[in-house]
Structure 1
Amino acid sequence: MLWFLMCVGLLVGGYFIYGTFVEKVFGINKQRQTPAYAQNDGVDYVPMSKGKVYLIQLLNIAGVGPIFGPILGALYGPAAMLWIVIGCIFAGAVHDYFSGMLSVRNNGQSVPNLAGKYLGKNAKNFMNIFALVLLLLVGVVFISAPAGLLGKLTGWNVTMFVGIIFVYYLIATIVPIDKIIGRLYPFFGALLVFMSVGLTIAIVVSDQHTLLAGFGPGDFLQNLNPKDAPLWPALFITIACGAVSGFHATQSPLMARCVENESSGRFVFYGAMIGEGIIALIWCAIALSFFDGVQGLSDAMAGNPANVVYGASTGLLGAVGGFLAVLGVIILPITSGDTAFRAARLILAEYFNMPQTKISKRLVLAIPLFVLGAILTQVDFGVIWRYFGVANQATAVMMLWTASAYLVRHNKLHWICTIPAMFMTDVVISFLLNSNTLGAGLPMTVSTIAGTIMTVLITGLVIYIGKGKAQELAAAEAEEV
């Protein structure tokens, strides 16, 4: 119990202390007009209150990732909780803050355009392709997972639920953001809070289960995986949402188009990530506690984290409470899946320079995305999840390097983004070089050394690009004077 409370306390403290520091480094301007007002179109650029934008942002980023990922990560033991805390404060929340605030500063542009501006044209082209692939994978993952849970709850055909969710996604993708997302998501946010708080209270007062019983301080630094799966670098791919997730970089610009003032950025972007980190901690702790350790968790999971969600929710909250908790887990991916397709539409709109005020223009871009999504739902869920994990973290790497280049360009403390960018770059490259299914299948030692060397080279390149852009900016400003 104490270890869990300490982890939550560190996350909350991180918001007030490190979050304030990050905001100061960025340098907000309360007098600057935000895109919500400057480009108000009644569809995607719509001013909304800080509280509403926060809840929508939280739901946009909190799909099944901060639930399934921490459950899978819990197989490594409490080390997963340590990564959630450190990753969330120093990498994930920083990533989300800059992906949101750089979008605010650049007319609500999406991550490919931001990468292009601060890293160059090649980065923009790479991110256009990568972001679209990621968003399609996210959309498919966040159709299959809730449809499967709905089928488990009702006993009805899963394919029927896939079709229903698809129809909803299409509607939510093309209608103005304040018509469905702006009205329903704050309510869903309350359900999410109920689910998280309810499960935590239930396991604390339970006579049969003790939160993190049997785990000591030393276990936070050990790999307890029952199958001896290596912790490095797999844990940092497995737990993305809740620690650091590139998917958030595609979602933050949606709310950057709705933020009323730059002063809301820390609460909306950094704060929502801290909120997701707490959700991830809750599920990681429950997974370790309810099933009496990693071996019991592995047996209960049987290869599918949804089994853990269903078993723990009904076991702790009973039939009715468990139903509501599982319903919250169903809503989470749905509220991220629709915004994934919406973000994909907006990225295409920026690429083709196609205004989205007319519904016909939105349909032209949305329908092909849903056709591709329907095809991908036929692929095995496990395969889709593996590719999603790698694509997700690679996107986070690109966003962190984009933010680093921005800070170098403006002669600000770039290390707050450069250090997490270096770490995640090493994670992704090492994972790909070592993976037998997705990469080269090289030995772990060789993969890690090669990943470290490539990370150092990339770091030098980004700093070089950033300084070059800084010189160009200084020269332009001198000419204006």
Structure 2
Amino acid sequence: MKTFLGGIILLILGYFTYGKIVEKVFGIKQDRPTPAYVNHDGVDYVPMSTSKNALIQLLNIAGTGPIFGPIMGALYGPAAFVWIVIGSIFAGAVHDYLIGMISLRNRGAHLPALASKFLGQTMKYLVHILAVLLLLLVGTVFVITPASLLHVLIDGKLALGIIMIIIFSYYILATLLPIDQIIGRLYPYFGALLILSAVGVGVGLVITRAPIPELSFTNFHPEQTPIFPLLFFTITCGALSGFHATQTPIISRTIQKESQGRKIFYGMMIAEGIIAMIWAAAAMSLFDGPGELNELLKVGGPGAVVNEVSTSLLGALGGTLVVLGVVVLPITSGDTAFRSARMIIAEYLGLAQRKLSSRLWVAFPLFIIAFLLTKIDFNLLWRYFSWANQSTAVITLFIGAMYLYIAKKNYWISLIPGTFMLIMVFTYIFHAKIGFHLPMNTSWIGSLIGTLIVLILFFHIARKARENKWPIEEKFSR
């Protein structure tokens, strides 16, 4: 219990300490007008309050990742707690804050446009493909997972296919209508349910004095579960996730002042880390070691663990509310995944999105492709999602480092976590079955060589960019 509670305390302290350091390094401009006013269109660029933006951001980034990921990450023992805390404070929250604020300084530009501006034209096309692929995978996965949970919750009284159609219908409306008409109105209620479910499980763990494993040199992780690199691909949204980089520009277009950025971007990643800590602790405590947890995961997946944890801690009624809170997470990320994909494609093609017909023209093919993807095995989709997700995180952290380098600021706050994850991404690609399937020792050597080459290229481009004084912000006034 000490490790669990200590981790949550460290996350909160991280927001008030390291979060302020990151904000100071970036350098907010309180009087600078934001895209919500300068580019106001009544659809995507709409000023909203800090509390509403923060809640929408949390729901946008918190799919099933901070629940399903930590549940599966619990197989690694207390090492999962270490990654959630360190990852959230020094990687995930930095990642979210920097990309959100850089987007804010560039008219709410999405990740591909920012990659093109800071990493070169070639990266523009690569990131467009990667971002849209990631968003389609997220949207598809987040149709399947909430539908499956609801199907179990209502004891199969409604066909799984019908539930998926209902969720798809909601996604279509949320993708096409102005952000303040559905997302802005429903998310406060969804957010309340999410917070209530997480707090319920967390309080239940404390009250019942659940036997949560403590961190020690002899209990860091089970010997049969090596943490490098798989832990960092298992727990993503609860520590570091490239998917967040596709979501933050949505809120960069609705922020009123730059000073709100730390609470909205950095703070909501910390909140997600706390949710991840709660579910990792629950999965570790309610089962007799990793073996029993692994057996339940094989039989029913993370959804079965959610159901078992919820009912064990809070009973039938409380458990039902918790499961509903979990269902909310993927739905409120799936809708903005499709919305973000629409915005990225429209930005690439130069299509204004004021007219409904223009939005429909871009969005319709996305839903057709997503529907076809639902026919593919979920486990295969999830493996490709994990790879695309962390690859996107690396690109985002390098964008942040490039921005800070050109601005002559402390770029190490972004480059260090970016370099670490680049090594993990290379190792995963070289070693995994969906990659080159090479021996681990060979994969490590290849990853170190690949990372060194990337760093050499980064500093070459960065020095050139600083010397030529590349513009890193869009200049505009109200």
Structure 2 counterparts to residues 39-50 of structure 1, below 5 A: 39-50=39-50
Deviation at 1:82, TM superposition (A): 0.4
Q: Pick one of 323, 326, 330 that aligns with 1:329.
A: 326
**Deviation, structure 1 residue 470:** 1.2
Q: Is the Cα–Cα contact under 8 Å of residues 48 and 258 in structure 1 kept in the other structure? A: yes
2:190 is matched with which residue? Answer: 188
Answering whether residue 261 of structure 2 is matched by residue 265 of structure 1, we say yes
Q: Which sits farther off after the overlay, 194-203 or 391-400?
A: 194-203
1:365 maps to amino acid = V
**Partners of 1:114 and 1:463 in 2: how far apart?**
18
Q: Which residue of 2 aligns with 1:168?
A: 170
CA distance 1:322–1:294, change in 2 (3 Å): same
| Residue of structure 1 equivalent to 2:11 | 11
Aligned position for 2:151? 151
Q: How far does residue 188 in structure 1 lie from its aligned partner after superposition?
A: 1.1
After TM superposition, the structure 1 stretch with the greater mean CA deviation from structure 2, 310-319 or 59-68, is 310-319
Cα displacement string for residues 16-43 of structure 1 (whole angstroms, at most 9, x for unaligned residues): 1111001111111000000001011000
Q: Residue 135 of structure 2 aligns with which residue?
A: 135
Q: Which amino acid aligns with 1:389?
A: S
The aligned counterpart of 1:447 is 443
String of CA shifts for 1:139-182, please: whole Å, max 9, x gaps.
01100000000111111211111111011100100000001111
Given the alignment, which residue of 293, 301, 323 partners 2:289?
293
Q: Does 1:462 align with 2:458?
A: yes
Q: Which of 378, 385, 390 matches 1:388?
A: 385
1:414 paired residue among 400, 408, 411? 411
Taking the aligned partners of 2:25 and 2:344, their CA distance within structure 1 comes to 28
Q: 1:52/1:36 Cα in 2 relative to 1: closer, same or farther (>3 Å)?
A: same
Q: 1:223 aligns with which of 214, 221, 224?
A: 221
**Superposition map of 1:54-453 within 5 A:** 54-154=54-154, 155=156, 156-206=158-208, 210-213=210-213, 215-218=214-217, 222-224=220-222, 228-302=224-298, 304-436=301-433, 438-453=434-449
* CA shift in 2, pair 1:11/1:359, >3 Å: same
Does the 8 Å contact 1:76/1:223 carry over to 2? yes
What is the Cα deviation at residue 296 of structure 1? 2.1
Q: Which moved more, 1:330-339 or 1:399-408?
A: 399-408
Which SS does the other structure have where 2:307 is aligned?
Answer: helix
Distance (Å, rounded) in 2 between the aligned partners of 1:279 and 1:79: 16
Query: 1:204 Cα shift?
Result: 1.7
Report deviation, 1:476.
12
- Cα deviation, 1:83-126, whole Å, max 9, x if unaligned, reads 00011111000000011001100000000000110111011111
Q: 2:45 is aligned with what amino acid?
A: Y
CA distance in 2, matches of 1:443, 1:191: 45
> Which amino acid is 2:252 matched to?
A
- Mapped partners of 1:149, 1:476: distance in 2: 44
Question: What is the CA distance between 1:186 and its match in structure 2?
Answer: 1.5
Q: Give, in whole Å, the separation in 1 of the partners of 2:216 and 2:368.
A: 50
Equivalent position SS for 1:473: coil
> In 2, distance between residues paired with 1:25 and 1:292?
46
- Superposed, 1:25-40 pairs within 5 Å as 25-40=25-40
Per-residue deviation, 1:229: 3.7
Residue identity matched to 1:3: T
Q: What's the CA shift for 1:292?
A: 3.0
- Write the letter of the residue equivalent to 1:414: Y
Q: Would you say the 8 A contact 1:291–1:300 is kept in 2?
A: no
Partner Cα separation in structure 2 for residue 476 and residue 236 of structure 1: 31
* Residues 381/336 of structure 1: CA separation in 2 closer, same or farther (3 Å cut): same
Aligned residues: 470
Rate the CA distance shift 1:475–1:89 in 2: closer, same or farther, 3 A: closer
For the residue of structure 2 that corresponds to 1:439, the secondary structure is coil
Mapped contact 2:10–2:85 kept (Cα < 8 A): yes
Whichever residue aligns with residue 339 of structure 1, its letter is T
* Secondary structure in structure 1 of the residue aligned to 2:217: helix
- Aligned equivalent of 2:476: none
How much does 1:374 deviate? 0.2
Tell me the distance in 1 between the aligned counterparts of 2:353 and 2:437.
44
Distance 1:193 1:265 in 2: 21
Moved >4 Å (runs of 4+): 474-477
User: 1:380 Cα deviation (Å)?
Assistant: 0.7
Q: Pick which of 331-340 and 180-189 moved more.
A: 180-189
Q: Is the 8 A contact 1:237 1:389 kept in 2?
A: yes
* Contact kept in structure 2, 1:77 and 1:219, CA below 8 Å: no
| Identity across the alignment (%) | 52
Unaligned runs of 5+ in 1: none
Unaligned runs of 5+ in 2: 474-478
Q: CA deviation at 1:302?
A: 2.3
Assess, with a 3 A threshold, how the Cα gap between structure 1 residues 279 and 197 changes in structure 2: closer, same or farther. same
How far apart, CA to CA, are the structure 2 residues paired with 1:403 and 1:97? 9
CA distance in structure 1 between the aligned counterparts of 2:399 and 2:187, rounded to whole angstroms: 30
